[in-house]
Amino acid sequence: MSTSVSTTHTSPALASAAARPSRLATVTVWSLQLVSAAMFLFAGGLKLAGAEPMVQLFDALGVGQWFRYVTGGIEVIAAVLLLTPRFAVIGALLLVPTMIGAVATHAFVVGGSSAMPALLGVAAAAIVWLRRRDLAALIARG
């Protein structure tokens, strides 16, 4: 009795196609990025422009207005990065801890709803997950 072992070889074209995300995944991640970028450009812009509610919020924090500029700058820079395909994952990575801080701030310091920063943090984490291959490629390049 003879047994034969069949080995299948995947062509480079098939391997490349398998590594590419589906159209749905691409549309999903870009939709998340565009909506998140718009939200963070708006929120960060308000902070940098010195909108009165933002000034009052950071006064309530008690850490000084410099922190408003830092937070606004992070949000605007991250929003721009979200719109740049190669660096979108870096923008999302900047936003995850920023939104964790925002949730904690609302929950323990200033009060009010932390639903929006939580939602934006989840969106940023989802972008990191969906773009994890991009992150791996950036790390591999050094």
Q: Residue 102 is part of which domain span?
A: 22-141
Please enumerate in sequence order all residues whose Cβ is within 8 A of that of 48, keeping only pairs 6 or more positions apart, or say none: 69, 72, 73, 76
- Would you call 31 exposed, middle or buried from its count of C-beta atoms within 10 A (0-12, 13-18, 19+)? exposed
Dist. CA 114–CA 93, nearest whole Å: 20
Give domain status of residue 132, yes or no: yes
| 36 vs 75: CA distance, rounded Å | 10
Question: What is the number of structural domains in the chain?
Answer: 1
∠ CA(132), CA(134), CA(139), 5° rounding? 95
pLDDT at residue 6 tops 80: no
Say if 7 falls within a structural domain.
Answer: no
Q: What is the mean pLDDT of residues 17-46?
A: 89
Q: CB–CB of 99/64 below 8 Å?
A: no
- 96 lies in a domain? yes
Is residue 1 within 8 Å of residue 103, measured between CB atoms? no
* Residue 17 domain flag: no
Q: Is there a domain that residue 130 lies in?
A: yes
Give me the chain's average pLDDT, please: 89
Residue 127 lies inside a defined structural domain of this protein: yes
Of 57-61, 62-66, 72-76, 111-115, the range with the highest mean pLDDT is 72-76
- Please indicate, yes or no, if residue 16 is contained in any of the structural domains: no
Is there a domain that residue 15 lies in? no
Q: pTM for the whole thing?
A: 0.82
pLDDT at 124 over 50: yes
